[in-house]
């Protein structure tokens, strides 16, 4: 059982220090100063808004590879919220600046804006006319029958032609739509230099959907890309973006060249914040570094924790956010929720051990290094065997490191938090 009394007492002591760190002295002018930071941190996903991308040595290497070489099949993997979609968007922009033809989409959401789906429009229109006749189809499409007749005669051009094709495609059957997408993708492969495909994030409870998506992608790859014939003379680069937590268990994964998007260190997270917001106010430097460590290098978590602290600061009237404030406002429950999927790989059916792991990691965030016996006393009520087993697992998965240290009294084992990068 967790020694929760000690932990709760420590949090209460932190809470009493709030007034000593600038609380209850905020003004509307001060709030306005960090409005830009607030706007940045509420956008947890790339789709919510553009921001400046910071390139690392590894991501720049990937960009150069896609600029120079052809025929790659690459899986970019990373934990949920680690910036996979942001990297996809950044690659898209930079490659197009280098005059590369890029197709960029989320798997399962292809539409006529991304692909040229005009191949089977005539066949679809013929079926619709056989079913409804010209006047009935005009009513269904909510257009004039004269427009349909003009389209049949080839008299429509430009935006008018595109608009009616879009309407026809909306009324295609699932089979007709699938066939149109098949040929459109083939056209994309023949005419694009790079295809960037972002797979959705999956939970442990909807892995069946993940398997279906991977099976569909596998068929697409084998039918449209892997065939070495005259229809595929242009060796396109295909890059898929997939969450690391579930990147296992499917035969397709063995075919990818894997690029791991590693968690960011505290300095990089701080640099990204400064680059997009201009400064770190109202956080102290130490508070922001502590938040970065709590987030374990995951940019989405980092943004979320920044937002929580800003909103708490507004609520309590704090003009400066210190480490003590962060400890009070980002609790075990929040950390447990954010690391649930990640730690399920370590303790798949042991929720209590996941919670204990988070308490251990938080203590190491604060104290850097702790003797193993002290951890056993503080977190495990002195149960050294249970403490040792949990630490064995965390060490095997790269969360901590341990080493022996000699003192005048005895030798003891020291536990340290391992850097995320």
Tell me the per-residue pLDDT of 224-245, one tens digit each, with 9 for 90 and over: 555 544 444 557 888 989 888 7
- The reply to whether 328 and 275 lie within a common domain is yes
The domain boundary, picked from 103, 137, 171, lies at 171
Which stretches of 251-298 are DSSP H helices? Answer: 266-277, 285-294
* Residue 91 within a domain: yes
Check which CATH number belongs to the domain holding 96 and give it: 3.40.50.300
- The reply to whether 192 and 147 lie within a common domain is no
The single residue listed with the structure tokens 């508070």 is: 287
- The reply to whether 389 and 298 lie within a common domain is yes
Please give the average per-residue pLDDT across 197-223, as a whole number: 76
Band the pLDDT of 253: cuts 50, 70, 90.
Answer: confident
In this structure, are strands 369-371 and 411-417 parallel, antiparallel, or unpaired? antiparallel
- The reply to whether 232 and 373 lie within a common domain is no
* Residue 76 within a domain: yes
Position 28 pLDDT exceeds 70 = no
Cβ atoms of 246 and 207 closer than 8 Å: yes
Q: Give dist(CA 91, CA 101) in Å, integer.
A: 12
Label residue 45 left, alpha or beta by phi (over 0 means left) and psi (-120 to 50 means alpha): beta
- The reply to whether 91 and 233 lie within a common domain is yes
- The reply to whether 254 and 291 lie within a common domain is no
Position 60 pLDDT exceeds 70 = yes
* Residue 44 within a domain: no
Please provide the size of the chain in residues: 421
The single residue listed with the structure tokens 């016996």 is: 373
Mean confidence (pLDDT) of the chain = 79
| Count of structural domains within the chain | 3
* Residue 282 within a domain: yes
Model pTM above 0.85: no
Tell me the per-residue pLDDT of 138-172, one tens digit each, with 9 for 90 and over: 888 888 888 888 888 888 777 777 788 778 877 77
Q: Give dist(CA 255, CA 72) in Å, integer.
A: 11
Reported as half-sphere exposure (CB side, CA atoms, 13 A), residue 223 has a value of: 12
Tell me the per-residue pLDDT of 319-378, one tens digit each, with 9 for 90 and over: 889 988 988 898 888 888 888 877 887 887 888 888 898 888 888 888 878 888 988 988
Cα-based distances in Å from 182 to 81, 110, 178, 274, 413: 31, 11, 6, 44, 60
Which stretches of 142-265 are DSSP H helices? Answer: 145-152, 158-170, 174-191, 207-220
* Residue 407 within a domain: yes
pLDDT at 6: 53
* Residue 41 within a domain: no
* Residue 233 within a domain: yes
- The reply to whether 291 and 387 lie within a common domain is yes
* Residue 402 within a domain: yes
Q: Which domain holds residue 77?
A: 57-113+180-260
Cβ atoms of 262 and 227 closer than 8 Å: no
The domain boundary, picked from 227, 245, 260, lies at 260
Band the pLDDT of 64: cuts 50, 70, 90.
Answer: very high
- The reply to whether 227 and 326 lie within a common domain is no
The DSSP element (H or E) to which 126 belongs, if any, is: helix 121-141
The domain boundary, picked from 235, 260, 285, lies at 260
- The reply to whether 363 and 321 lie within a common domain is yes
- The reply to whether 326 and 247 lie within a common domain is no
- The reply to whether 200 and 251 lie within a common domain is yes
The CB density around residue 276, as the number of other CB atoms within 10 Å, is 17
- The reply to whether 245 and 350 lie within a common domain is no
């Amino acid at each position: 059982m967790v020694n929760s009394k000690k932990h709760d007492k420590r949090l209460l002591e932190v809470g009493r220090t709030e007034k000593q760190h600038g609380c209850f002295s905020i003004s509307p002018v001060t709030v306005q100063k960090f409005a830009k930071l607030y706007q940045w941190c509420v956008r947890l996903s790339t789709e919510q808004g553009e921001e400046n991308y910071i390139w690392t040595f590894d991501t720049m290497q990937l960009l150069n590879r896609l600029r120079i070489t052809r025929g790659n099949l690459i899986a970019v993997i990373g934990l949920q919220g680690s910036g996979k979609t942001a990297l996809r968007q950044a690659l898209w922009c930079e490659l197009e600046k280098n005059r590369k033809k890029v197709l960029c989409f989320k798997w399962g959401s292809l539409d006529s804006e991304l692909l040229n789906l005009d191949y089977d429009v005539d066949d679809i229109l013929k079926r619709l006319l056989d079913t409804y006749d010209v006047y009935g189809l005009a009513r269904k499409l909510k257009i004039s029958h004269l427009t349909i007749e003009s389209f049949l005669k080839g008299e429509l051009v430009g935006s008018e032609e595109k608009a009616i094709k879009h309407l026809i495609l909306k009324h295609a059957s699932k089979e007709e739509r699938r066939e149109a997408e098949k040929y459109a993708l083939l056209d994309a492969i023949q005419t694009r230099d790079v295809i960037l495909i972002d797979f959705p994030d999956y939970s442990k409870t909807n892995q069946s959907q993940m398997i279906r998506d991977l099976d569909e992608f596998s068929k697409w790859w084998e039918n449209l890309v892997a065939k070495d014939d005259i229809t595929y003379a242009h060796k396109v680069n295909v890059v898929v973006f997939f969450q690391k937590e579930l990147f296992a268990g499917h035969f397709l994964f063995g075919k990818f060249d894997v690029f791991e998007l590693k968690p960011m260190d505290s300095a990089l997270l701080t640099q990204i914040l400064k680059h997009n917001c201009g400064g770190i106010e109202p956080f102290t430097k130490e508070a922001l570094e502590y938040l970065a460590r709590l987030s374990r290098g995951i940019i989405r978590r980092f943004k979320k924790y920044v937002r929580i602290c800003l909103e708490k600061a507004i609520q309590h009237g704090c003009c400066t956010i210190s480490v003590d404030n962060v400890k009070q406002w980002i609790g075990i429950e929040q950390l447990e929720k954010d690391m649930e999927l990640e730690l399920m790989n370590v303790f798949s059916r042991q929720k209590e051990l996941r919670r204990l792991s988070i308490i251990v990691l938080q203590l190491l965030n604060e104290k850097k290094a702790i003797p193993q016996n002290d951890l056993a006393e503080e977190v495990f009520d002195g149960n050294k065997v249970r403490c040792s087993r949990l630490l064995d697992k965390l060490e095997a998965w790269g969360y901590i490191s341990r080493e022996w240290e000699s003192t005048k009294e005895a030798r003891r084992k020291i536990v340290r938090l391992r850097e995320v990068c």
